Amino acid sequence: MEHRGSEFYDDALIFKKYLDRRSWTENANDTLEKPIILQLIGDVTGLEILDLGCGDASFGNELLDAGAVSYTGIEGSANMVEEAKKTMHRSKTEIIHTAIEDWDFPDSRFDMAISRLVLHYIEDVEAIFKKVYQSLVDGGSFIFSVEHPVMTSSYGLPREEGMKQDWIVDQYFHTGIRKQEWLGGTAVKYHRTIEDIYSALQHAGFNITRLRESKPDQANFQHNETYQRRMRIPLFLFFSAQKI
Ligand SMILES: C[S@@+](CC[C@H](N)C(=O)[O-])C[C@H]1O[C@@H](n2cnc3c(N)ncnc32)[C@H](O)[C@@H]1O
């Protein structure tokens, strides 16, 4: 069964598998994505934060614990919103159940916008970047991760069963829709080159301040074998940009 955007997470079986995978020790989110996001985000004391595709919003609790003054999570999946409501019991928190594309972004409201592993579900990222820009205060920052284009390029190509041994980067400059077989379903994602994302940020008005890839830090791994596997290919791409 094929799903677009957050619909993927509203399939009960897929959602269960997703939560299960996130609880694995040494999962890619916790060992690769989160450490770099935290480095890029830095000190959040006193900040009003917007999180696009916030999932279960558990990261919101961490940001508030770290000193953020408010957290607004936008999330399209009913299952995720239900999880978020179970975990979020803080004041100055709002979880809004809507597709990012449909949300009416407020003007000049947030000090920081973040989005973790969501924007590859969105067809027109430049339109979203423009809305994020408008919703930030002057000097506000936008920090996000996406699946790395070397990964998204070859989604949909035939692959072997089980743990991948080799990766193919193919059709790289043929950007657009990709259908990935994942967690027993078909997730519709969008492949873009690094240059496409960079240019879309610039067109939206942002000053790009950092670009990172998910180079692993051995300190985050218990098993050398997993670390060596993660040294082979980048899973995630990160940008940090500022409203000027
Ligand atoms: C891989 S999960 C990441 C969740 C969370 N950011 C995290 O890192 O734990 C992707 C999330 O993006 C949400 N999502 C995808 N497309 C969306 C859209 N167009 N509008 C709102 N949410 C969307 C999904 O429902 C899902 O919760």
Q: Whose CA is nearest to atom 14 of ligand 1?
A: 6
Give me ligand 1 centre to Cα 115, in Å: 8
How far is the CA of 129 from the CAs of 94, 101, 157, 172, 209, in angstroms? 21, 11, 29, 23, 15
Best residue among 118, 129, 180, 189 to mutate for probing ligand 1, ranked by most atoms within 8 Å of CB: 118
Average pLDDT over the chain, rounded to an integer: 95
Amino acid at 214: S
Q: Whose CA is nearest to atom 20 of ligand 1?
A: 99
Q: Please state whether beta strands 176-182 and 136-147 pair in parallel, antiparallel, or not at all (unpaired).
A: unpaired
This prediction has a pTM of 0.96
Q: Which residues have any ligand 1 atom within 6 Å of their CB?
A: 5-6, 9, 53-55, 74-77, 80, 99-101, 116-118, 121-122
What does the pLDDT look like over 84-95, one tens digit per residue? 998 877 788 999
Q: Whose CA is nearest to atom 11 of ligand 1?
A: 53
Fold of 25-148+192-243: Rossmann fold (3.40.50)
Give me ligand 1 centre to Cα 224, in Å: 30
Q: Whose CA is nearest to atom 5 of ligand 1?
A: 55
User: Is 168 in contact with 160 (CB distance < 8 Å)?
Assistant: no
HEC profile for 99-163?
A: CHHHCCCCCCCEEEEEEECCHHHCCCHHHHHHHHHHHEEEEEEEEEEEECHHHHCCCCCCCCCCC
What does the pLDDT look like over 150-196, one tens digit per residue? 999 999 887 777 777 788 899 999 999 999 999 999 999 999 999 99
Question: What is the average pLDDT across 196-210?
Answer: 98
